[in-house]
Amino acid sequence: MVEQSTLRARPTRSTTHSSWNEPAIVGSVLGADYARLGEEVADLTDAGVGRIQWDVMDRRFVPNMTFGADVVAACRAHSDVPFEAHLMVQDPDPVLADYVEAGCDTVIVHVETCPHLHRTLAAIRELGAKAGVAVNPSTPLDFVRHVLGQLDQIVIMTVNPGFGGQQYIAAMEHKVAEMRALVDVSNSALKIEVDGGISRDTARSAWYAGAELLVAGSAVLSHPGGKRAAVEELHRAMARPIPAA
């Protein structure tokens, strides 16, 4: 386990590591206006997000229900940034191909819903997409340790999935740092993403812990200055010092 002090100052690992590049902002459409979703996607792209995440919910694994692959496909022409499908669904295997065909470059499944995780990740890659796995706050990293070679991306959930606008669970920074150490030791190229409660107040500490992709939903979609102002604010937050613990 990484000590708390390493989350407040640069660790001793090489400062040339890619994790010290400023993280990309991933725009979530979970809180968007669904009546004008194509425009919302275009606005997020114009605002400067590096990716767009589709939070797919089934009212079984999580309490809410959102959209299917047909909605994602309808919006693909409105953006030229990569799409990623975050499948918060009880049984993802039957729909993997649907989201790849809809234009998602990355498909993320939850370790908690995949009894044959290695097989599921292999299926995503066979479809021509990048394979990602998400880990809920209460789920230890031991559940993904033996599939690192199958992964292009891991998502550390800093909220419990199912709702937008939740409070960031700062204790998960220890898990991010633990994952960062695993990636560094294995020389893996997989990306670490943090999802949940990212704002101008939490973005930098998530990055310091080791994240390279930061999912922002409410902080961008509900910003009084608009989406571009929100993305710029998040980037500026990377330059601010982190208060001592």
| 67-80 burial: b if 16+ Cβ within 10 Å, else e | bebebbbebeebbe
Q: Identify whether 70 is a catalytic site residue.
A: no
In this prediction the pTM is 0.90
Quick: pLDDT tens for 190-220: 999 999 999 999 999 999 999 999 999 999 9
Residue 103's nearest CA partner among 80, 136, 121, 137 is: 80
Rounded CA separation 39/137 (Å): 33
Residue 113's nearest CA partner among 84, 92, 99 is: 92
- Given a cut of 80, whether residue 120 has pLDDT beyond it is yes
- Given a cut of 80, whether residue 17 has pLDDT beyond it is no
Q: Identify whether 195 is a catalytic site residue.
A: yes
Which 3-state string (H, E, C) describes the chain? CCCHHHHCCCCCCCCCCHHHCCCEEEEECCCCCHHHHHHHHHHHHHHCCCEEEEEEEECCCCCCECCCHHHHHHHHHHCCCCEEEEEECCCCHHHHHHHHHCCCCEEEEEHHHCCCHHHHHHHHHHCCCEEEEEECCCCCHHHCHHHHHHCCEEEEECCCCCCCCCCCCHHHHHHHHHHHHHHHHHCCCCEEEEECCCCCCCHHHHHHHCCCEEEECHHHHCCCCCHHHHHHHHHHHCCCCCCCC
Quick: pLDDT tens for 28-42: 999 999 999 999 999
Q: Which of 43, 55, 58, 152 is catalytic?
A: 55
Q: What's the pLDDT band for 242 if we cut at 50, 70, 90? A: low
pLDDT for residue 22 = 84
Q: Which of 43, 184, 195, 201 is catalytic?
A: 195
